[in-house]
Amino acid sequence: MEDLYPMIFRRYSARRFSSHLAEKDQERIQLILKELTPLDPKAAHEFVLGPSKGRGDVSINLYMKDREPASLLQAGFLLEEADLALEQAGYGICFLGMAKAEKGLEQKDGLVFLMSLDCGQVLKESFRKSPDDFTRNYINDIWAGEFNPEIKQAARLSPSAINSQPWQIISSADQKKIEVFRKRAPFNPIPDETMRFFHFVDLGILVSHLKIALDHFKIPYALEAVIGPEEGRLTRVAVFTLA
């Protein structure tokens, strides 16, 4: 898989598409999906292409073991790598968090439907040109501690459902440890279970951006998904331990 770091600064959620995907595009998309590197290679997943559930041309439907936080984290991680790799190849992508499985396709090979990415052709000019084109929280509101500012920026630009950015990152004083937490809003009009579903996918996306940025700067690390007890406002979900 090529370096996806530059795409972190150019990606966007496509909601307008230009023309139809040819058969060879669908084959190319399948090849890109096959090359992804899951967070846990032992966790089973499957991508199935089907008719678009949004405004694109096809939907890329992800199936995982279950809808528990550990699987949702894996899903977000995979979907974001897919998002960046497909955008790098020139396709327009949009997460469809509310997408339902087509009738009769709720399960596949013992896995359950989780979420879709909408995909289609877009114009080259549609991709973002600079971090100023993103609407995101300030870096100091999401990251506590000193660290490489470019890696902080890559984390900050992560997409999330309804742009809720439900994360807190803490780097240790010696910069040898990066801890990633889910941050719950004190009040949310959306039901807790729905938010919980989206948030763990969002956190998988953030972990993917951090991994891609650390790899880009050739900083060695060990990455561990560790979902802590869901009490209070912060739940730990992952730790990067730097060499």
Q: Least distance (Å) from ligand FMN to the CB of residue 24?
A: 27
Q: Return the number of the residue (98 or 144) whose C-beta is nearest ligand FMN.
A: 98
**Residue 94 within binding range of ligand FMN, rule CB under 6 A:** yes
Q: Are strands 167-171 and 143-144 parallel, antiparallel or unpaired?
A: parallel
From residue 118 to residue 137, the character string flagging contacts with ligand FMN as x (rule: CB under 6 A) and all else as - is ----------------x---
Taking CB under 6 A as the rule, does residue 37 contact ligand FMN? no
Cα gap 209→152, rounded to integer Å: 10
Range 128-158 burial, b when 16+ CB lie within 10 A, else e: beeeeebebeeeeebbeeebeeebbbbbbbb
- In angstroms, what is the minimal distance from the CB of 30 to ligand FMN? 22
Tell whether residue 72 is a contact of ligand FMN (CB under 6 A). no
Which listed residue (8, 33, 48, 96) binds ligand FMN by CB under 6 A?
96
Spatial separation of the C-alpha atoms in residues 143 and 152, rounded to whole Å: 7
Say whether residue 7 binds ligand FMN (CB under 6 A): no
Residue 76: CB minimum distance to ligand FMN, A: 7
Task: Choose, by CB under 6 A, the member of 1, 6, 13, 144 that binds ligand FMN.
Answer: 13
CB nearest ligand FMN: which residue?
97
Neighbours of 52 (CB within 10 A): 19
Q: Give the C-alpha separation, 54 to 223, whole Å.
A: 34
Residue whose CB is less far from ligand FMN, 18 or 163: 163
User: 224 by DSSP, 3-state: which?
Assistant: strand
Separation of alpha carbons 124 and 127, rounded Å: 6
Distance of alpha carbon 153 from alpha carbon 123, whole angstroms: 26
1, 22, 98, 105: which one contacts ligand FMN (CB under 6 A)?
A: 98
Q: Name the residues that contact ligand FMN, by CB under 6 A.
A: 12-13, 15, 94-98, 134, 159-163, 198, 201-202, 205
